[in-house]
Amino acid sequence: MRAKDIRAKAGVEPVTMLTAYDAPTAEVVDEAGVDMILVGDSVGNTQLGYDSTLPVTLDETASHTAAVARATENALVVADMPFLSYGASLETGVENCGRMLKEAGADAVKLECGPHTVELTDRLTDLGVPVQAHLGLTPQHENETGLFRQGTDGEAAREIADLAAAHEEAGAFSLVLEHVPANLAAAVTDDLEIPTIGIGAGPDCDGQVLVVDEVLGRSTGTAPFSKSWGDVRGEMERAVAGYKDDVESGDFPAAEHSHYEERLDDVY
Ligand code: KIV
Ligand code: NA
């Protein structure tokens, strides 16, 4: 899957995207035929124990992206650029984004967008680094704006629509719309030729993205706009409790779990 294949799906077929942060999860998502795997900066809250996405470092993003890329054969792997790894200067932004492709094996990068990312998107796509834009709720602005629902008044909605068009013009191959009113997402989807990928943005986007932990039921809670199709956390709890019980009761290891003679043969 390449950026141009994702672009070609706009208005033709629904686009699917899930996050993944590690190799075994990426393998499952990839084998299911999901179009794109986002190594979200949500790795910060979902995997690394941070309170927000802001502390995630470029090295952490590179490490998780590389794990996902090694396990993925077909899906487009998108590295979600962490807070302050882009935007301060064009040069540093280009280098940091390029590193995700050159060193970590990503196929594209995602940027939380504003007026400051139009030129960067243009430069990156000129250089051959596919860019996924992200508008609406942009959690990296938490300290400035809080995590409120954006685009709910006319002016904010117009700004999102204008920035969407500007990033398409600059060469972005798709646009994530997070937590914007469904009618705004529908209007932006109508306006653009590139696919819109919604999260909490209603049914009219060209595609949908969710955090995989919520889909799997591996997180402690599920966002109101999300949904679980599994109970992985429950399975984990059952498995760990079963192990503990069996060791404490002496049921594990049983004879069939022991291979002392073979081990000795291997050693001597
Ligand atoms: O980091 C993330 O998981 C994201 C998605 C919610 C789009 O940016
Ligand atoms: Na993100």
CA–CA dist 71, 24 (Å, integer)? 7
- Is the confidence at residue 266, as pLDDT, over 70? no
Q: What is the pLDDT of residues 53-108, one digit of tens each?
A: 999 999 999 999 999 999 999 999 999 999 999 999 999 999 999 999 999 999 99
Closest-lying ligand to the alpha carbon of 207?
1
Q: How many of the other CB atoms lie within 10 Å of CB of 17?
A: 27
Q: What is the pLDDT of residues 26-63, one digit of tens each?
A: 999 999 999 999 999 999 999 999 999 999 999 999 99
- Is the confidence at residue 262, as pLDDT, over 70? no
Q: Is the dihedral of CA 53, 54, 59, 65 positive or negative?
A: positive
Q: What is the pLDDT of residues 137-192, one digit of tens each?
A: 888 988 877 766 666 788 889 999 999 999 999 999 999 999 999 999 999 999 99
Give me the pLDDT at residue 144, please. 79
- ipTM score assigned to the predicted complex: 0.98
Q: Give the residue whose CA is nearest to atom 4 of ligand 1.
A: 40
- 168, two tokens: 């398409």
Q: Which residues line the pocket of ligand 1, CB cutoff 6 A?
A: 19, 38, 40-42, 80, 176, 178, 199, 209, 211
Q: Which domains does the chain have, with CATH numbers?
A: 3-230 (3.20.20.60), 236-267 (no CATH)
Q: What global pTM score does this model have?
A: 0.94
Q: Which atom of ligand 1 is nearest to the CA of 178?
A: 7
136 Cα to the center of ligand 2, angstroms: 12
Q: Catalytic: 178?
A: yes
